Chain A
Amino acid sequence: MSLFAFLGTLEIGLIYGLVALGVYLTFRVLDFPDLTVDGSFPMGGAVAATAIVAGVNPWLATGFAILAGAACGLVTAFLAVRCGILHLLASILTMIAAFSINIRIMGRPNIALLGENTIFTSIEKFGIDPLYGNLGMVFVIVLLVAFLILRLLSSDFGLALRATGVNDAMVAAQGGSVGYYTYVGLALSNGLVGLAGALFTMSNSFADVTSGVGTIVVGLAAVILGQTLLSGRQLWVAVIAVILGSILYRLAVAFALSTGMFGMQASDLNLITAVLVAAALIVPKMKSKVRAKISRRKTK
Chain B
Amino acid sequence: MIELTDIRITFNEGTVLENKALRGVSLNIPEHEFVTIIGSNGAGKSTLLGAVSGEATISDGMVKIDGAEVTSWPVYKRAKYAARVFQNPLAGTCATLTIEENMALAYSRGKKRGWQLALSGKRRQLFRERIAMLKLGLEDRLGDSIGLLSGGQRQAVSLIMATLSDSHLLLLDEHTAALDPRMAAFILDLTSRVVKEFGLTVMMVTHSMKDALASGQRTVMLHQGQIVLDVSGAERDKLDVAHLLEMFNRVRGEELADDSLLLA
Contacts and interface: CB of A to CB of B under 8 A. Distances in A.
Contacts of B77: 175
A152 B80 CA distance: 23
Contacts of B84: 173
A169 interface: yes
Given A163-B94, A167-B94, A173-B75, A155 B105 contact: no
Interface residues of A, number: 24
B91 A175 contact: no
Interface in B56-113: 74-77, 79-80, 84, 86, 90-97, 101, 104-106, 108-111, 113
Nearest to B167: A175
A175 B118 contact: no
A160 interface: yes
Contact of B114 (A157, A162, A178): A157
B98 to A, nearest CB: 8
Interface string A155-172: 111111011001101111
Interface string A93-111: 0000000000000000000
B117 interface: yes
Contacts of B115: 151-152, 155-157
The interface centre, meaning the residue of B95, B97, B101, B105 with most chain A CB atoms within 10 A of its CB, is B105
Contacts of B114: 155-157
Contact of B97 (A157, A163, A172, A177): A163
Contacts of A160: 105, 108, 113
Interface in B152-185: none
A167 B116 contact: no
Contacts of B111: 156, 175
B118 A169 contact: no
B58 to A, nearest CB: 17
A235 B115 CA distance: 16
A214 interface: no
Given A154-B118, A166-B94, A159 B105 contact: yes
A172 B79 contact: yes
Contacts of B96: 162, 166
Contacts of B113: 155-157, 159-160, 176
Contacts of A156: 104, 108, 111, 113-118
B145 interface: yes
B82 to A, nearest CB: 9
A174 interface: yes
A175 B78 CA distance: 7
The interface centre, meaning the residue of A152, A156, A175 with most chain B CB atoms within 10 A of its CB, is A175
B79 A173 contact: yes
16 contacts: A155-B116, A156-B113, A156-B116, A159-B104, A159-B118, A160-B105, A166-B94, A166-B95, A167-B93, A170-B94, A173-B53, A173-B92, A175-B79, A175-B110, A176-B113, A177-B76
Given A154-B118, A154-B119, 8 more contacts: A155-B113, A155-B118, A156-B117, A166-B94, A170-B93, A173-B76, A174-B79, A175-B108
Interface of B: 53, 74-77, 79-80, 84, 86, 90-97, 101, 104-106, 108-111, 113-119, 145
